[in-house]
């Protein structure tokens, strides 16, 4: 797993932990925002390659 993927996964876990602490809507913003920022941090060629990869291959 790449460093950016681990950061995105950590953001999702942090969002789930934050639900009881900061409320549902702010935690939902974290859950959606962290992976979105990680996707936007990719180069255009990496985004293109990611769009063409199936979900089964993403777990490798």
- How far out from the chain centre does Cα 27 lie? 13
pLDDT above 60 for 16: yes
Residues recorded for the chain:
60
The pTM for the full model equals: 0.52
What is the tally of structural domains in the chain? 1
Q: Where is pLDDT greater, at 14 or 59?
A: 14
Is 9 within 8 Å of 35 (Cβ atoms)? no
Domain hosting 22: range is 3-58
pLDDT above 70 for 58: no
- Closest by CA to 42, choosing from 11, 3, 13, 14, is 3
Mean pLDDT on 14-43:
83
Summarised one tens digit per residue, pLDDT across range 19-29 is: 888 888 887 88
């Amino acid at each position: 797993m790449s460093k950016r993927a681990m950061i995105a996964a950590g953001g999702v876990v942090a969002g789930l932990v934050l639900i009881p602490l900061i409320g549902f809507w702010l935690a939902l913003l974290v859950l959606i925002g962290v992976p979105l920022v990680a996707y936007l941090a990719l180069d255009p060629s990496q985004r293109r390659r990611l769009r063409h990869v199936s979900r089964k291959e993403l777990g490798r």
